[in-house]
């Protein structure tokens, strides 16, 4: 099942970014450090491709530090791109961000040529919390829910540094299936756009292979890391439901409640520092998604080609 979520206000955000980027010097994209590839917006890449970009891997305190280093290296190797990792405890995020932006656009600065920066990101990546930390006051709404920010606003971080905040935005069609699940697991997707049980199963399927010890430590299943890796994901979800008391009549597991428990534990950092993808994994997923998308487009084109002679014959 492909997960898609692109409500009306995101169409407006897309148009606003397309207009604003014409006068912007640097684009800051706030990523979720737990899913740095899946939370990078390809639509934003398309809209801002000619601009220098700063990738901020936010919530690094929730992510696997070894994998964060891999992602920083991966992004820093890209053209016109710098990448840094931040978290809520960062003492001076404003200084670090201003320094990085000046490295990307050294020709800008001072009252005559103030730095003009656009900050974007997927919903629930922590962008608003970061902005409030930078500005020293609550200028952006925050919450553990996708789509809190709805309007663009300008924030002055220094006399010669202007920041335009935009609402969190996904993209009209997510072609990397695993990215849809990871975004939903992180809370970047509206709750009405996905099945919690299916997302929890996909999450467990990945965690049992890469972070089985974390699952054992959290849920105390008494199975051991090796046995956890061998279970089918629905068996693992049922085992967690039984251990945590998510039960119904007749000794049956309430899988919906068990799924909610797993997703809540991941989002609340109760499973420890976890990153749901490596650069190598994401590149494989992306290649597979692009191949499927190309096949889909080829089928559409072939269907149009077959219909055209029929119309002309009339």
Cα dist from 312 to 18, 301, 304, whole Å: 39, 17, 12
Arithmetic mean of pLDDT, 285-290: 94
pLDDT at 298 over 70: yes
Residue 142: predicted pLDDT: 45
Host H or E run for residue 132:
helix 127-135
In angstroms, rounded to a whole number, what is the distance separating the alpha carbons of residues 179 and 286?
Answer: 9
Nearest-Å Rg of the Cα atoms of the chain is 22
pLDDT digits (tens, 9 = 90+) for 36-69: 999 998 888 888 878 999 999 999 999 999 999 9
- Facing residues of 26 across strands? 117
**Mean predicted lDDT score pLDDT of the chain:** 87
Complete DSSP assignment for 65-110: HHHHHHHHHHHHTSTTEEEEE--TT-S-HHHHHHHHHHHH-TT--S
For the chain, what percent of residues have pLDDT higher than 70? 89
Task: State mean pLDDT over 81-85.
Answer: 96
Q: What share of the chain is helix, strand, coil (3-state, %, to 5)?
A: 50, 10, 35
The better pLDDT of the pair 110, 33 is held by 33
Token pair of 227, please?
């046995």
Specify whether the CB–CB gap between 115 and 25 falls below 8 A: yes
pLDDT > 90 fraction of the chain, expressed in percent and rounded? 56
What is the reported pLDDT for 258? 97
- Look at residue 145 in the predicted model and tell me its pLDDT: 44
Q: What is the pLDDT of residue 248?
A: 92
Say if residue 309's pLDDT is above 80.
no
* Sequence-ordered list of residues with C-beta below 8 angstroms from that of 278, at least 6 positions apart, any chain: 67, 70, 71
**Residue owning tokens 């849920």:** 219
Mean pLDDT, residues 132-146: 57
CA distance 239 to 231: 10
Ranges 3-7, 14-18, 85-89, 228-232: which has the least confidence: 3-7
- What is the mean pLDDT of the segment spanning 105-115? 91
Domains belonging to the chain, first-starting first, are: 8-165 (3.40.50.300), 195-267 (1.10.1580.10)
pLDDT at 138 over 90: no
Please, are residues 130 and 29 in contact by the beta-carbon 8 Å criterion? Answer: no
**Residue 307 φ/ψ, nearest 5 degrees:** -75, -30
Query: 125 or 5: which carries more pLDDT confidence?
Result: 125
Which comes out higher in pLDDT, residue 173 or 275? 275
What was the pLDDT predicted at 304? 80
pLDDT above 70 for 311: no
> In the prediction, which pLDDT does 149 show?
47
Q: Taking 70 as the threshold, does the pLDDT of residue 310 lie above it?
A: no
Q: Which of 87-96, 113-122, 221-230, 232-241 shows the lowest mean pLDDT across its residues?
A: 87-96
Q: What is the pLDDT of residue 286?
A: 94
- Confidence band for 16, pLDDT divided at 50, 70 and 90: confident
pTM assigned to the model = 0.86
C-alpha–C-alpha distance, residues 310 and 307, integer Å: 5
Check: CB of residue 236 under 8 Å from CB of residue 204: yes
Does residue 29 register a pLDDT over 70? Answer: yes
Q: Would you list the DSSP string of 218-271?
A: HH--SS-HHHHHHS-HHHHHHHHHHHTT-B-GGG-B-HHHHHHHHHHHHHTTTT
């Amino acid at each position: 099942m492909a997960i898609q979520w692109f409500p009306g206000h995101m169409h407006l955000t897309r148009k606003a970014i397309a207009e604003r980027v014409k006068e912007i010097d640097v684009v800051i994209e706030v990523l979720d450090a737990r899913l740095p590839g899946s939370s990078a917006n390809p639509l934003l890449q398309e809209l801002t491709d000619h601009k220098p970009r700063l990738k901020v891997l936010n919530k690094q305190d929730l992510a696997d530090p070894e994998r964060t280093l891999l992602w920083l290296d991966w992004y820093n190797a890209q053209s016109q791109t710098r990448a840094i990792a931040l978290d809520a405890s960062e003492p001076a995020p404003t200084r670090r961000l201003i320094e990085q932006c000046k490295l990307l656009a050294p020709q800008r600065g001072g009252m005559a040529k103030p730095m003009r920066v656009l900050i974007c990101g997927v919903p629930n990546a922590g962008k608003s919390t970061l902005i409030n930390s930078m500005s020293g006051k609550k200028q952006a709404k925050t919450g553990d829910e996708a789509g809190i920010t709805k309007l663009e606003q300008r924030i002055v971080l220094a006399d010669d540094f202007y920041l335009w905040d935009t609402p969190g935005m996904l993209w009209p069609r997510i072609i990397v299936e695993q990215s849809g699940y990871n975004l939903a697991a992180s809370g970047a997707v509206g709750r009405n756009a996905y099945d919690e049980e299916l997302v929890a199963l996909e999450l467990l399927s990945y965690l049992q292979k890469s972070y089985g010890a974390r699952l054992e430590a959290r849920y105390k299943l008494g199975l051991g890391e090796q046995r956890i890796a061998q279970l089918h994901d629905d068996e693992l979800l049922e085992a967690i439901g039984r251990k945590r008391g998510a039960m119904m009549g007749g000794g049956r597991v309430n899988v919906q409640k068990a799924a909610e428990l797993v997703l809540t534990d991941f989002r609340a950092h109760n499973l420890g520092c976890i990153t749901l993808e490596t650069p190598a994994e994401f590149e494989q997923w992306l290649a597979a998604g692009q191949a499927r998308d190309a096949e889909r487009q080829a089928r559409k084109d072939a269907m149009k080609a077959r219909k055209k002679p029929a119309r002309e014959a009339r």
